[in-house]
Amino acid sequence: MEAVKHTLQVLPWLLLFAQLAAASTSNCTNATDGTDSRGAMKLKLIAIASILTAGAAGVLVPVLGRSMAALHPDGDIFFAVKAFAAGVILATGMVHILPAAFDGLTSPCLHKGGRDRNGFPFAGLIAMSAAMATMVIDSLAAGYYTRSHFSKAQPIDNQEIYEQPGEEERPGRAQHVHMHTHATHGHPHGEADVISSPEEASIADTIRHRVVSQVLELGILVHSVIIGVSLGASVRPATIRPLVGALSFHQFFEGIGLGGCILQANFKMRATIMMAMFFSLTAPVGIALGIAISSSYNVHSSTALVVEGVFNSASAGILIYMSLVDLLATDFNKLKLQTNTKLQLMTYLALFIGAGLMSMLAIWA
């Protein structure tokens, strides 16, 4: 439920974005060439169904595939899948979102009346700030959950140890009890004392994966709502038609990346389903929201450009940081990958293919 609660906290800000964009009346262009509300509505309904299906399929591929030995989190193929997904997420932030943020915050619609267009690069500043904030949140959240877990008392474990006759005299068992005593009373003397067994190391790794998956979903949700609102508010079939296929593939690839992180986080089934549903529904809900405000929404209004630019910049910073630090750097520094040349080549190839395919989609969306 913690994952669902953190995801819900971002929704009011996204709704505020839609309200501000709809309320703005400052127009830059009012071109009506190629407008066809009825034809556009048919394409929007097709887009909702297509993007919903693609997003759900993408996020469920790793989740449902965990029963297959080939897609086990410790398997070689899963390393390649994660590298592919990380390449997709990196290209999403660098090629799709960040340029759109720069375009929005440097648009000529924001620089009327003779003001200088070559102003401060706010998009880069916001993206950098979001990346640093993500690092801080990532570190603080992981530290908090780790301390919370290892400071909990474990009376059942200790009771089982002492109830077995003669076990308390065994040096190995005494060391095990001393380790739990340190964790129980909350007096860690370094990481070696707190995480001093394979089981506890695995728990700490799971905690890190849970933090990563929640922060990653936050960045993806913000971006998904923005592109959904933009598509839903358009009334030009020529603009919407190429976006339907491009955004469907876009959501599918992003879903694979998020699904891989959710799989490694070992969430309970209910939390896994809820996170998958939120991701799958966000872009279609954004399209529906765009349809609702299409009569008053103007993508060229100053308010819409600023709000979209800020959200896009923050989303880009989050996704770039998560892909490079929490996904790629973590896996590429593992001993299993560094000592296996074949696995290295397969992982590098998957990374380049993922980033390349997502970058190619920028031609249409």
pLDDT in tens, 305-317: 888 888 889 888 9
Other C-beta atoms lying within 10 Å of the C-beta of residue 322:
29
pLDDT of residue 348: 94
What band does 25 get if pLDDT is binned at 50, 70 and 90? Answer: very low
CB 320 within 8 A of CB 127: yes
CB 7 within 8 A of CB 278: yes
DSSP 59-99: HHHHHHGGGSGGG-TTSHHHHHHHHHHHHHHHHIIIIIIHH
Task: Count CA atoms closer than 13 A to 347's CA, side-chain side.
Answer: 23
Report the alpha-carbon angle 227-231-236, nearest 5.
150
Average pLDDT over residues 285-301: 80
Highest mean pLDDT among 210-219, 288-297, 338-347: 338-347
* CA-based nearest residue to 43, from 279, 242, 227, 223: 242
CA–CA distance, 259 with 57 (Å, rounded to integer) = 10
Phi first, then psi, for residue 195 (nearest 5°) are: -115, 85
Residue 180 pLDDT more than 70?
A: no
CA–CA distance, 175 with 284 (Å, rounded to integer) = 55
Phi first, then psi, for residue 157 (nearest 5°) are: -65, -45
When mean pLDDT is compared across 34-48, 176-190, 197-211, 329-343, the lowest value belongs to 176-190
pLDDT of residue 123: 93
What band does 124 get if pLDDT is binned at 50, 70 and 90? Answer: very high
Residue given tokens 């979001």 in the structure block: 130
CA–CA distance, 18 with 20 (Å, rounded to integer) = 6
CB 231 within 8 A of CB 290: yes
Task: Count CA atoms closer than 13 A to 49's CA, side-chain side.
Answer: 5
pLDDT of residue 175: 45
Share of the chain above pLDDT 90, in %: 14
pLDDT of residue 162: 41
The length of the chain is 365
pLDDT of residue 153: 45
Residue 363 pLDDT more than 80?
A: yes
Highest mean pLDDT among 206-215, 257-266, 344-353: 344-353
What band does 261 get if pLDDT is binned at 50, 70 and 90? Answer: confident
* pTM for the structure as a whole: 0.67
Tokens of 324: 């490079």
Mean pLDDT of the chain: 75
pLDDT of residue 169: 46
DSSP 181-248: HHHHHT---SHHHHS-SHHHHHHHHHHHHHHHHHHHHHHHHHHHHHHHHHHHH---HHHHHHHHHHHH
DSSP 310-328: HHHHHHHHHHHHIIIIIII
Q: What is the dihedral of CA 234, 237, 239, 244, to 10 degrees?
A: 90
Average pLDDT over residues 195-212: 71
pLDDT of residue 142: 73
Tokens of 339: 């000592």
Distance of CA 111 to CAs 8, 301, 303, Å? 35, 12, 13
Average pLDDT over residues 136-157: 68
CB 179 within 8 A of CB 193: yes
pLDDT of residue 64: 76
| Residues 6 or more apart in contact with residue 208 via CB below 8 angstroms | 142
CB 236 within 8 A of CB 36: yes
Average pLDDT over residues 160-183: 44
Give the residue, 336 or 13, on which the prediction is more confident: 336
CA–CA distance, 235 with 233 (Å, rounded to integer) = 7
What band does 250 get if pLDDT is binned at 50, 70 and 90? Answer: confident
CA–CA distance, 313 with 85 (Å, rounded to integer) = 21
pLDDT of residue 164: 45
Residue 7 pLDDT more than 70?
A: no
Residue 277 pLDDT more than 70?
A: yes
CA–CA distance, 149 with 138 (Å, rounded to integer) = 17
CA–CA distance, 237 with 45 (Å, rounded to integer) = 12
